[in-house]
Amino acid sequence: MNETRVEEAPPADSRGIDEILAEARTRIQRVNPSTAHHEHAESGAILVDIRPEAQRLAKGMIPDALIIERNVLEWRFDPRCEARLPIANTYGLRVIVFCQEGYTSSLAAASLQDLGLARATDMEGGFKAWRDAGLPTVGVPEGS
């Protein structure tokens, strides 16, 4: 089926995803995988894997990372929300969010900051960078 795409100017008050991502990253101090690993091991920072289950199964996981898929992240970490996790009872949590390559996680970390979690950030390069740095993983299929 051939569909003709109608080109039109975007609404005046809209922003493209590249602009939204750039703005989000101006507000967060991203960390590299080594720093994320150190903060998790030494300071108790919470590593949060927001990838969908299929991606985790296909690519592998970080041991001890908390799995919270992106669609419920804000509800699980908002100290005001009844659906929050028991650990999400303070705004001072150090949360390091990661996705597969570090794009969605930047948007997620900015959203957590919008909730008041000023120490929320994300990991540059995501799980892929963590794995490529030789940091601990589980369930990584051979050749991936």
Q: What percent of the chain stands above pLDDT 90? A: 88
* pLDDT value, residue 127: 98
- In single-letter form, the type of residue at position 101 comes to E
Q: What is the mean pLDDT of residues 18-34?
A: 96
Average pLDDT of span 66-90: 97
Q: Evaluate whether 123 touches 25 at the Cβ level (below 8 Å).
A: no
The whole-number pLDDT of residue 46 equals 98
Mean pLDDT computed over every residue of the chain: 94
The answer to whether residue 109 scores a pLDDT higher than 60 is: yes
The domains of the chain, with CATH numbers, are 28-132 (3.40.250.10)
Q: What is the pLDDT of residue 5?
A: 73
Question: Alpha carbon 139 to chain centroid distance?
Answer: 20
**What pTM, to 2 d.p., does this model score?**
0.90
* pLDDT at position 70 over 80: yes
Q: What is the pLDDT of residue 6?
A: 66
Residue labelled with tokens 């419920």:
72
Mean pLDDT (whole number) for 114-118: 97
